[in-house]
Amino acid sequence: MPSVSLSKVHKHISKKRGAMDSMHENSRDARRLRRAGSREERLSHHAGMTLKARQPYMERIQYFHDAVQAVEEPLSDAQLTEMILKCIHRDEEEIAQLKSERRKGRPPTRREELLSQRTETEEKELKTGFWLPDMGDADVLHALKHWNGNWAGLSSVKFIRITHEGVKQASTFPPKGMS
């Protein structure tokens, strides 16, 4: 399969034929164009879904990245738990503001629902094991401080899961289930 991207197929066919509007509906070139177009659409849809699935983890890691900029020493378990709780409840002020702006008897706004839902989800995750970089390790802390913001840049960072009781468990990147 020589050329698969839509632009390459279009360019190749236009060089061969000249005008594109005189093409028969079921010709080989028309089928090639349709296949390339559907492939392009499928790939862009898949890329969008992947980015959407990664977004909560990226926001979480960005929060920890910002939080450890002033930290010099690796964090103890108590400090990690405290930082996790701050991370979980980072939107409480905005939720309270949205509630106060809402008139009495009105349903919550979409933003308020999303923030509350994220807080609840993260609290549930904390009970079973909250996924985060192992900031108790000096090398991981250094790597997290100098993280460039890309998903691929996290492959060298070691991750753990911490429960509410303080039990640490090694985890994988990217997170899969209860790894």
Instruction: List the domain range (segments joined by +) for residue 82.
Output: 68-179
Rounded Cα distance, 135 and 145, in Å: 10
Tens place of pLDDT for every residue, the chain, 179 residues?
A: 455 788 888 788 887 766 666 777 888 888 888 899 999 999 999 999 998 988 989 999 999 999 999 888 998 888 899 999 999 999 999 999 999 999 888 999 999 999 999 999 999 999 988 999 999 889 999 999 999 989 888 888 899 999 888 888 888 887 776 55
Residue 91, in any domain of the structure: yes
Give the type of residue at 43.
L
Tell me, yes or no, whether 41 and 72 share the same domain.
no
pTM over 0.85: no
| Within-domain flag for 59 | no
Number of domains within the chain: 2
Instruction: Enumerate residues 6+ apart whose C-beta is below 8 A from 60.
Output: 87, 131, 132
Q: Is the domain of 96 the same as that of 171? A: yes
